[in-house]
Amino acid sequence: MEIRRFLADICETHGISGYEHNVSALVRAALCRYADEVRQDKMGNVAFYKRGEGEEGKRPRILLSAHMDEIGLMVTKIEEGGFLRFAPVGGIDPRTIVGQEVILFGREAMPGVIGAKPPHLTSEEDREKGHEMETLYIDLALPEQKVRKLVAPGDLAMIKRESLALAGNTFAAKALDDRAGVAVMLCCLRGLEKMRHNADVFAVATVQEEVGVRGATVSAYGIVPDIGIAIDVTHGDMPGVPEHETSQLGKGPAICLGPNIHPKVGAELLRLAKEHRIPHQTEVSPGPTGTDARAIQVTRGGIPAALVSIPLRYMHTSVELADLEDIKQAGRLLAYFIATVDTAFVEGLKCY
């Protein structure tokens, strides 16, 4: 399947944190053919296991971790008139959801619109203020009685957004954070088909990253890898943000450096990118990153972690924008890394 098509499918699908089953099914269908075994744990993380050629019992174990959950909304209350109040699942800027069409997952999937205070009741001063989550509501254009039959607190809603192909290789969609990372795993597994590798690979589509890297915490514990690499998105260049705080779209994956990253794994990724002329950039994170790598590093007795990121503009809006070429290049880089790792490299990771 073409990467653009795969991404469009998984991004448009529903998979809010804690309720990843729809997107999980699509990911499984696309990635299972590259795996020797597919395992799902109790939390819903799906691991695609690809066996290496190394000697049984001595093969390095490499974990790739990309989260498949997305941010969304959860109904908290049905108001008079049938309007729904909601709470965010994950970090949502209320200013980005006004005037949006949503799909509400009640007894059935229903279209809705996020409304705000009407303009004629809004002062000039009010218009300078951002909308607050508490003042917004979902309108289903249904009478209250019907709403009460079809909807209950706890029901979820997601922004309805079709993906868009833009100039060059750019692509806009909701939930590219972190379905872009899932697409990187697909590219990597494909690349490995044509390569030889000693290491066992566990490519895991994780759950509940957006609410506190919860899926990766249990997934890394269960898999016990020698090296764990998170694949996520990072802030691309965008208006209002200084250039030095962002990575550039189309300039290749960003390799993260800092305390969350094992120095030798970070250095090896950089070396391989240079050796194979893979466009790349570096990103510095001064503390634990907000990615699966945060959890992986401190799992069990400590696991060497790394982070490869896809530059993404407008993170956590419904028009997240990335460059497909960066995704393909990240897949290549990780495949080369996996093919290079041997027991000596893994042993060296504990030698300080």
Q: Where do contacts with other proteins occur on this chain (CB under 8 A)?
A: 79-81, 83, 85, 91-93, 95-101, 110-122, 127-131, 135, 137, 139-143, 146, 159, 161-162, 164-168, 170, 172, 235, 237-241, 245, 249-250, 290, 313-319, 321
209 noted as active-site residue = yes
Rounded to whole angstroms, the Cα distance separating 258 from 236 reads 19
DSSP for residue 211: T
Rounded to whole angstroms, the Cα distance separating 312 from 10 reads 17
Nearest distance in Å: CB 94, other proteins: 8
Nearer to other proteins, 117 or 276 (CB): 117
Q: 208, 226, 2, 70: which is closest to 217 by C-alpha?
A: 208
Nearest distance in Å: CB 43, other proteins: 24
Rounded to whole angstroms, the Cα distance separating 21 from 29 reads 12
Nearest distance in Å: CB 188, other proteins: 25
Nearer to other proteins, 163 or 299 (CB): 163
Nearer to other proteins, 183 or 204 (CB): 183
Nearer to other proteins, 165 or 195 (CB): 165
- Alpha carbon 103 to chain centroid, angstroms: 20
Residue-wise DSSP of 155-200: -EEEE----EE-STTEEEES-HHHHHHHHHHHHHHHHHHTS--SSE
Contacting residues for 194 by C-beta, under 8 A, at least 6 apart: none
Nearest distance in Å: CB 213, other proteins: 14
- What are the beta bridge partners of residue 105? 109, 156
Rounded to whole angstroms, the Cα distance separating 23 from 184 reads 16
User: Of the listed 70, 209, 268, 283, which one is catalytic?
Assistant: 209
Residue 175 main-chain phi, psi, to 5 deg: 65, 15
Nearer to other proteins, 32 or 241 (CB): 241
Nearest distance in Å: CB 179, other proteins: 16
Active site residues: 209
